[in-house]
A = this chain, B = another copy of it.
Amino acid sequence: MTAPRFTVLYRVTPDDDRSIEAHAKDICIEQTVEIPADAVPAGHWEKGIVGIIEKITERPGTPTDYDVLISYRVDITNNEIPGLLNVLFGNISIRRGIKIVDISFTPDQLKAFGGPRYGIEGIRKALNVHGRPLATTAIKPLGLSSPELAAMCGGYARGGLDVIKDDHGLIDQHFHPFRERIARIAEAIREGNAKSGNVTHYYPMLAGRFDQVEAQAAFAKEQGCFGVLVPPFLIGPDTGFYLARKYDLAVMTHPTFSGTHFHDPRHGMTPAVLLGKLFRLFGADISVFPNFGGRFTFSREECVELADDLRKPWGGLNGAFPSPAGGMTIEKIGTMIDAFGVDTALLIGGALLRYSPDQEVSARAFVTGLDNAMKERKP
């Protein structure tokens, strides 16, 4: 019986004169046995423990690059996030000209990692919001006091926002200690919800040390938060997803500190693979990413591909909300809907803060903007 395998599509730009086959073989070895080919035990080749080159396709263009499809045994990843990332791109992250452009998992892998716990449907149901994108904002800026931040959130809730997340810079600083901030904001949102009759969810930032982060997740749950903001590259690729599952919290992922993967089109992972496919597989219900047209580097095509990977049918996995952010404004709502469609968590941060000194007014303008844009787009 052959051991199950999954495949990774690497785009390889050779950095020397060796053949593409030699480069592909390097990857197969580097990501598994990591020893010279002539030192690999004979049985290892037969058992497929070394990566296997499934297909090499030359692509048109200059410089010449190639799509290299490599398969690995599933069991060498141990179906755990650290082990999977290690096999996908561990040591070759330190070599040149290798980009992961796609990954195909087996049904058992999808089941093992599990994907979004709530997904688009679960979050919509809990919010009771249908037929339009979610109105989402970030609590800013760091350095205000907890009561000041809570007052803003109360306004946003009264104004009918769907989702409020901590700015990712809000951690456990003395300006607004984690527990004090979460308790006050959760309370302000509860009061706002009671007044408006709407439901607003709050996702506090999970960024503590190893010994703090579980207590932070538990506290968020205790305070009635629907989810948490998870920065996989700050607290560990596995940490936030694991804790959210344990404490039955939704996951909104934040891409902070992950961006070196995207800087070079010939190295790293594409936004769709890392912030789309992998984060969804690991359990993201909402994936925040830097939108095109803002102050970041993603192209429109990259953003749309990422959104597709979050939502398209994929085994039995729930779909996740793409959450384009960064330099977004109420004026751009229509453009955003045209680019991303309805199942999107539109995130307007700084511009909402600027819109009016009264957060309730700003929130209402955001939601009204969404409703109007949807009406314009309906027959």
Residues of A bordering B, CB below 8 Å: 26, 30-36, 38-41, 44, 47, 49, 75-76, 78, 80-83, 85-87, 89-96, 138, 140-144, 167-169, 171-175, 207-211, 214, 231, 233-239, 242-243, 246, 255-264, 267-268, 290, 295-298, 349-351, 353-354
Q: Is the CB of A90 within 8 A of B234?
A: yes
Q: Is the CB of A267 within 8 A of B256?
A: no
Residues of B contacting A263 in the complex (Cβ-Cβ under 8 angstroms): 93, 96, 260, 263-264, 267-268
Our pick among B39, B91, B207 for the contact of A83 (Cβ within 8 Å) is B207
Cα–Cα, bound, A209→B84 (Å): 11
Our pick among B86, B236, B237, B260 for the contact of A171 (Cβ within 8 Å) is B86
What residue in chain B is nearest A84 (Cβ atoms)? B234
Our pick among B41, B237, B350 for the contact of A39 (Cβ within 8 Å) is B350
Residues of B contacting A208 in the complex (Cβ-Cβ under 8 angstroms): 80, 82
Looking at the assembled complex, report how far the CB atom of A49 sits from the nearest CB atom of chain B, in whole angstroms.
4
Q: Is the CB of B93 within 8 A of A257?
A: yes
Our pick among B31, B33, B40, B94 for the contact of A259 (Cβ within 8 Å) is B94
Residues of B contacting A172 in the complex (Cβ-Cβ under 8 angstroms): 78, 80, 83
Residues of B contacting A246 in the complex (Cβ-Cβ under 8 angstroms): 211
Looking at the assembled complex, report how far the CB atom of A330 sits from the nearest CB atom of chain B, in whole angstroms.
14
Residues of B contacting A86 in the complex (Cβ-Cβ under 8 angstroms): 168-169, 171, 207, 231, 234, 256-257
Tell me the number of copies of this protein.
2
Looking at the assembled complex, report how far the CB atom of A139 sits from the nearest CB atom of chain B, in whole angstroms.
11
Cα–Cα, bound, A83→B171 (Å): 7
Our pick among B31, B141, B171, B174 for the contact of A40 (Cβ within 8 Å) is B141
Cα–Cα, bound, A83→B36 (Å): 40
Residues of B contacting A41 in the complex (Cβ-Cβ under 8 angstroms): 141, 143-144
Looking at the assembled complex, report how far the CB atom of A23 sits from the nearest CB atom of chain B, in whole angstroms.
11
Q: Is the CB of B34 within 8 A of A167?
A: yes
Q: Is the CB of B260 within 8 A of A261?
A: yes
Q: Is the CB of B234 within 8 A of A210?
A: no
Q: Is the CB of A258 within 8 A of B34?
A: no
* CB-CB under 8 A for A94 and B234, given A32-B169, A78-B172, A171-B80: no
* CB-CB under 8 A for A295 and B26, given A140-B33, A260-B261: yes
* CB-CB under 8 A for A95 and B349, given A76-B143, A86-B234: no
Cα–Cα, bound, A93→B259 (Å): 4
Q: List 11 A-B contacts (CB under 8 A).
A: A32-B143, A34-B350, A41-B141, A44-B141, A44-B143, A78-B171, A78-B173, A86-B234, A90-B231, A95-B295, A95-B297
Cα–Cα, bound, A30→B174 (Å): 20
Cα–Cα, bound, A41→B142 (Å): 10
Cα–Cα, bound, A53→B243 (Å): 38
Q: Is the CB of A171 within 8 A of B49?
A: no
Looking at the assembled complex, report how far the CB atom of A4 sits from the nearest CB atom of chain B, in whole angstroms.
13
What residue in chain B is nearest A81 (Cβ atoms)? B209
Our pick among B26, B47, B260, B351 for the contact of A143 (Cβ within 8 Å) is B47
* CB-CB under 8 A for A234 and B82, given A40-B141, A91-B256, A239-B210: yes
What residue in chain B is nearest A36 (Cβ atoms)? B350
Q: Is the CB of A169 within 8 A of B33?
A: yes
Residues of B contacting A38 in the complex (Cβ-Cβ under 8 angstroms): 354
Our pick among B39, B210, B295, B298 for the contact of A242 (Cβ within 8 Å) is B210
Cα–Cα, bound, A233→B261 (Å): 13
Residues of B contacting A30 in the complex (Cβ-Cβ under 8 angstroms): 295
Looking at the assembled complex, report how far the CB atom of A165 sits from the nearest CB atom of chain B, in whole angstroms.
12
Q: Is the CB of B258 within 8 A of A93?
A: yes
